[in-house]
């Protein structure tokens, strides 16, 4: 638990308006000290682990998590045995199977996982990914009927289906069986299917609700293998699921599920598979992205994942799943290049849309505090990118944000992103219940909605009346947890390597933040037109460190760095290893700065 009672370096208000606090309490500091002594771990690394709840005696197992130790019994998930038996039947009978997946990375990886497993046995398998704009999320009746019409006797929905009542009701009348492998929140009522494996269904007590869809599929395939062994198949006849951990790791990172327990083991071991470059599709994608050095979790979330997502956002929705199933290098190279170009196009569109959104928001805020929830929207915006714009606005202005794409008829499709402590999914669902939104839903940190332009003013008014006090209180109490202090001279490649062993970091297992006390800003400048600020920092003992503040131009952090060249600042940020052109050196990403008192 973060110790909110103690400020770090005496920073009560940074340039971002945040109070810096100790990530460790006195109790966890004692745990860190014992951990460092028992396991010969650097003090700073022990602090990182203790702050994330690792016990001193568990440090060794934490640094080397295994699938065997952390994998739950698949049968603890409701309907799992039923689903595994039906898939085993399909394999033994040689049935034609169709997989209906979502258009994001988790959907693509989940679809590819199931496809690769089934085709190992010679099963005819077809993947169907819906178009984000024309079909929307989840299965639709027409698509399911088409799959059945092409001979599928078993349809498996992955990363979707748990709330698809209309589509599953329609196909239930056909001579085809349905399985749902999902992880999204659902109510007490479920659509008709032979089995619905979803650790977030109300009657599931497995405790695996943190899994992404690919994690659910992985457990399902483990259960299928167990069932096939029970029926007489030898281990040599079954796929080695360890070779599929690359896809599971990719989805787990990109779907931003908590990187704890079994999820963390999936990513750690999946990264080892990725580094072996055995996946034809992911190898081709890494090559076109000019990814250098060993693949890290960062590359999954910010290099490979966005390229796979680009197909679902602005291109052909099935490009990602097709790439992940390929065994032909030439075809993989072709699709990887397509996705790479689509991602570049997506980035250009995002920059233009974000610029327009920021102009709109700044005009709305003016010189005052502005609305508690930001709402921006235009007709020219691509509906596949509004979620990214909402996330950027949330980051820039430190409050929940919505971005909406309106069509010619005045109907808008939007996405929202929230700050910690404000349930944006609940806010949207209540607005739907009161008739302000056509439809919508989501979870605490992200939501989607459909709205008529005529209701936009009412939606903004609702934000003012229903969210002002809660959001203002959250922003007023905004804190930055600092794991420890270090200096430019002490930040070495070896130290960063040890910190990275405590990762991978992400949702539920946040990247450690370190403070550089009283470092002089030797230089600061813009990096081309990227919006990044490149900085050279000098410690009191004259050691220097190159650092970067991403998307900081015209933001408080960037302004402070540019205006205080030659002066001292407390600087906070995250560490990594820069492996440009094969040379390793420590890198520091600035997230906040404060003026020393």
Each residue's pLDDT tens digit, 42-69 = 999 999 999 999 999 999 999 999 999 9
Per-residue tokens: 88 = 């085993």
- The mean of the pLDDT values for the chain is 94
Half-sphere exposure of 141 (CA within 13 A, CB side): 10
* Residue 176 to residues 132, 146, 168, Cα–Cα distance (Å): 25, 12, 11
Residue 457 exposed, middle or buried by CB count within 10 Å (0-12, 13-18, 19+): exposed
Q: Which residue has the tokens 């360890």?
A: 242
Same domain, 454 and 501: no
Does residue 275 lie in a domain region? yes
Choosing from 436, 465, 494, the residue where a domain stops is 465
**pLDDT band at residue 79 using 50, 70 and 90 as cut-offs:** very high
**Which element (helix H / strand E) includes 459?**
helix 456-476
Residue 546 lies in a domain: yes
Same domain, 158 and 288: yes
Domain assignment present for 477: no
* Residue 433 lies inside a defined structural domain of this protein: yes
Cα–Cα distance list, 278 to 239, 286, 329, 333 (Å): 15, 12, 11, 14
**When comparing pLDDT for 396 and 206, which is higher?**
206
Query: Does position 188 have pLDDT exceeding 70, yes or no?
Result: yes
> Edge to edge, what strands does the sheet with 3-7 contain?
3-7, 19-22, 479-482
DSSP helix/strand/coil, 374 = strand
d(CA 236, CA 366): 67
> In the chain, how many domains are there?
3
Structure tokens at 37: 């002594």
Helix (H, G, I), strand (E, B) or coil at 593: strand
Same domain, residue pair 395 and 491? no
266 and 181 in one domain?
A: yes
Q: What is the 3-state secondary structure (H, E, C) of 69-102?
A: HHCCCHHHCCCHHHHHHHHHHHHHHCCCEEEEEC
Residue 276 domain flag: yes
- pLDDT above 80 (res 410): yes
Query: Would you say residue 399 lies in a domain?
Result: yes
CB-CB contact of 420 with 428 (8 Å): no
Q: Half-sphere exposure of 48 toward its Cβ, with a 13 Å CA cutoff?
A: 26
DSSP-derived 3-state class of residue 25: coil
Q: Say if residue 438 is in the same domain as residue 300.
A: no
Q: Nearest CA to 308 among 267, 395, 247?
A: 247
214 and 311 both lie in a single domain = yes
Residue 146 has pLDDT above 80, yes or no: yes
- Specify whether the CB–CB gap between 160 and 100 falls below 8 A: yes
Lowest-confidence range among 394-403, 451-460, 495-504, 575-584? 575-584
Is residue 470, in this structure, part of any structural domain at all? no
pLDDT score, position 74: 98
Query: Does 477 have pLDDT greater than 90?
Result: no
CATH number at residue 442: 3.10.310.30
* CATH number for the domain harbouring residue 572: 2.40.50.140
Residues 454 and 491 in one domain: no
251, 285: one domain: yes
Shared domain check, 440 and 328: no
pLDDT at 301 (0 to 100): 94
Q: Are residues 216 and 332 in the same domain?
A: yes
What's the pLDDT at 503? 93
Does 474 map to a domain? no
Same domain, 327 and 229: yes
202 pLDDT tier (thresholds 50, 70, 90) = very high
Can you give the residue range of the structural domain that contains 446?
369-465
Q: Which tens digits make up the pLDDT trace of 214-270?
A: 999 999 999 999 999 999 999 999 999 999 999 999 999 999 889 999 999 999 999
Residue 213 has pLDDT above 70, yes or no: yes
Beta-carbon count within 10 A of 266 CB: 29
Give dist(CA 93, CA 118) in Å, integer.
12
Report the CATH number at residue 305. 3.90.1640.30
For residue 286, give both structure tokens: 């890494």
- Determine the pLDDT at residue 72: 97
Q: Which of 115, 167, 118 is nearest to 145 (CA)?
A: 167
Check whether residue 114 and residue 175 sit in a common domain: yes
Is it the case that residue 1 has pLDDT exceeding 70? no
């Amino acid at each position: 638990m973060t110790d909110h009672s103690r400020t770090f370096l005496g920073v009560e208000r940074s340039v971002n308006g945040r109070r810096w606090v100790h990530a460790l309490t006195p109790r966890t500091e004692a745990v860190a000290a014992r951990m460092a002594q028992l396991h010969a771990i650097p003090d700073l690394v022990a602090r990182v682990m203790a702050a994330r709840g690792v016990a001193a005696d568990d440090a060794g197992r934490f640094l080397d998590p295994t699938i065997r130790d952390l994998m739950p019994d698949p049968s603890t998930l409701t309907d799992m045995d039923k689903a595994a038996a039906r898939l085993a039947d399909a394999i033994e009978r040689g049935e034609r199977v169709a997989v209906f997946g979502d258009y994001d990375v988790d959907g693509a990886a989940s679809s590819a996982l199931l496809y690769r497993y089934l085709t190992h046995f010679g099963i005819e398998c077809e993947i169907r990914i819906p178009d984000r704009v024309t079909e929307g999320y989840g299965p639709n009746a027409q698509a399911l009927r088409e799959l059945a019409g092409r001979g599928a006797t078993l349809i498996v929905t992955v990363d979707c289906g748990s709330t698809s009542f209309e589509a599953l009701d329609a196909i239930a009348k056909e001579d085809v069986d349905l399985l749902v492998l999902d992880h999204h929140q659902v109510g007490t009522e479920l659509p008709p299917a032979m089995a619905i494996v979803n650790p977030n269904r109300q009657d599931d007590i497995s405790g695996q609700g943190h899994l992404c869809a690919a994690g659910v599929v992985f457990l399902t395939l483990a259960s299928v293998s167990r069932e096939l062994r029970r029926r007489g198949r030898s281990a040599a006849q079954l796929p080695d699921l360890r070779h599929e951990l690359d896809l599971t790791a990719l989805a787990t990172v990109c779907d931003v599920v908590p990187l704890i327990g079994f999820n963390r083991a999936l990513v750690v071991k999946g990264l080892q598979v990725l580094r072996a470059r055995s996946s034809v599709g992911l190898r081709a994608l890494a090559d076109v992205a000019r990814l250098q050095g060993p693949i890290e979790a960062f590359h999954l979330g910010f290099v490979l994942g966005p390229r796979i997502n680009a197909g679902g956002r602005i291109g052909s929705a099935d490009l990602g799943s097709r790439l992940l199933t390929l065994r032909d290098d030439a075809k993989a190279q072709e699709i990887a290049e397509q996705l790479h170009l689509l991602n570049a196009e997506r980035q250009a569109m995002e920059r233009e849309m974000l610029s327009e959104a920021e102009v709109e928001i700044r005009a709305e805020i003016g010189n005052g505090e502005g609305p508690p929830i930001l709402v921006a929207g235009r007709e020219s915006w691509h509906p596949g990118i509004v979620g990214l714009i909402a996330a950027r606005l949330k980051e820039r202005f430190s409050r929940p944000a919505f971005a909406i794409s309106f069509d010619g008829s005045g109907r808008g499709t939007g996405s929202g992103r929230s700050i910690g402590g404000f349930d944006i999914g609940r806010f949207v669902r209540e607005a739907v219940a009161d008739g302000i939104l056509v439809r919508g839903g989501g979870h605490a940190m992200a939501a989607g909605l459909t709205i008529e332009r005529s209701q936009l003013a009412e939606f903004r008014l609702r934000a003012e009346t229903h969210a002002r006090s809660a959001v203002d209180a959250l922003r007023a109490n905004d804190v930055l947890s600092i794991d420890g202090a270090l200096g430019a001279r002490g930040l070495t490649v070896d130290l960063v390597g040890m910190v990275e062993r405590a990762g991978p970091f992400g949702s539920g297992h946040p990247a450690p933040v370190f403070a550089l006390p009283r470092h002089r800003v030797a230089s600061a400048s813009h990096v081309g037109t990227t919006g990044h600020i490149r900085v050279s920092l000098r410690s009191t003992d004259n050691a220097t460190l190159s650092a970067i503040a991403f998307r900081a131009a015209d933001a408080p952090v960037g302004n402070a760095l540019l205006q205080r060249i030659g002066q001292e600042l407390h600087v906070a940020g995250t560490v990594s290893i820069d492996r440009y052109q094969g040379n390793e050196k420590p890198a520091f990403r600035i997230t906040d700065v404060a003026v020393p008192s």
